[in-house]
Amino acid sequence: MKKATGKARRTKNKEMRAEYDFSQGARGRHCRAMRGGYTIAVRKADGTTVIKDVIPKRNAVLLEPDVQAHFPDSDSVNKALRCLIPLLPKRRKAL
């Protein structure tokens, strides 16, 4: 008989274990460091490792998780923001 995969095991028991304590956790603690870029090491089955440096694009915008839950992709965010643009006050021209 096959063992359940990791995903199947996780969905089987959805309750949090008593030994996990997140009361001292801080949301977004590593956000500033992630904005500066980070490195990913991908270890392949043949034993090789691929190192990837990830640098966010210059105009990348990070959404908070509660906002992100309402937008499935970047097109929906852009559409919502375009609807708000006419409501913004007009910019004054520089003298």
Question: Domain residues of the chain, as ranges?
Answer: 57-87
Compute the mean pLDDT over every residue in the chain, rounded to the nearest whole number: 81
Q: For 1-95, list the strands marked E by DSSP.
A: 38-43, 49-54
Query: 62 to each of 35, 58, 59, how far by Cα in Å?
Result: 9, 12, 10
pLDDT tens-digit map of 23-58: 888 877 777 777 778 888 999 999 999 999 888 887
- Whole-model pTM over 0.85: no
pLDDT at residue number 65: 84
pLDDT band for position 82 (cuts 50, 70, 90): very high
Q: State the residue for tokens 């001292």.
A: 24
